[in-house]
A = this chain, B = another copy of it.
């Protein structure tokens, strides 16, 4: 049920269409919760049926109509209830790690290529999160921001996404070193 809660958390910033939510998810919530647009639309329908959000249709010229969703009082209550916990711990669930686990008995070169690709991807993510962070801080020091901002939740979750990707970069680099050195030794043993 956490997609529901993630959507409600995203709607704390104000009303939004499904389409915009999908993009917003991509830009901020995606640090820690990803979903496809289809999943979103389906969930939004259910949430409306459950009275957690309400929709108003906005007619547009030269564009398809859109439905703007906003949190209802019930939605706010549900969300507060959710924040009270408890929350199950999670683990990383990553195909690449499965591949690395099996690398010694698989296609080592292929795994190396995948790690290199992932490293680049993670570096791009880090850069992106850094930009988002700068945007949130908006010139203020972190200390200043934390003291004055209305909400710190989005900042804290951004930090988690940031350090996760930094960690990915470090681990990729380390694994590359280990697997490359090993490959070299296996090619020319002794």
Chain A interface (Cβ within 8 Å of chain B)? 2, 5-6, 8-9, 12, 29-34, 76, 79-108, 110-111, 113-114, 117-118, 121-122, 146-147, 150-154, 156-157, 159-161, 163-164, 167, 170-171, 174-175, 178-179, 181-182, 185
Contact = CB atoms under 8 A, between A and B. Distances in A.
Given A32-B97, A34-B93, A147-B185, 8 more contacts: A5-B98, A32-B92, A33-B93, A90-B92, A92-B92, A97-B157, A103-B156, A163-B170
A98 B152 contact: no
Contacts of A175: 156
A83 B107 contact: yes
Given A93-B90, A171-B159, A80 B98 contact: no
Given A87-B95, A163-B167, A153 B34 contact: no
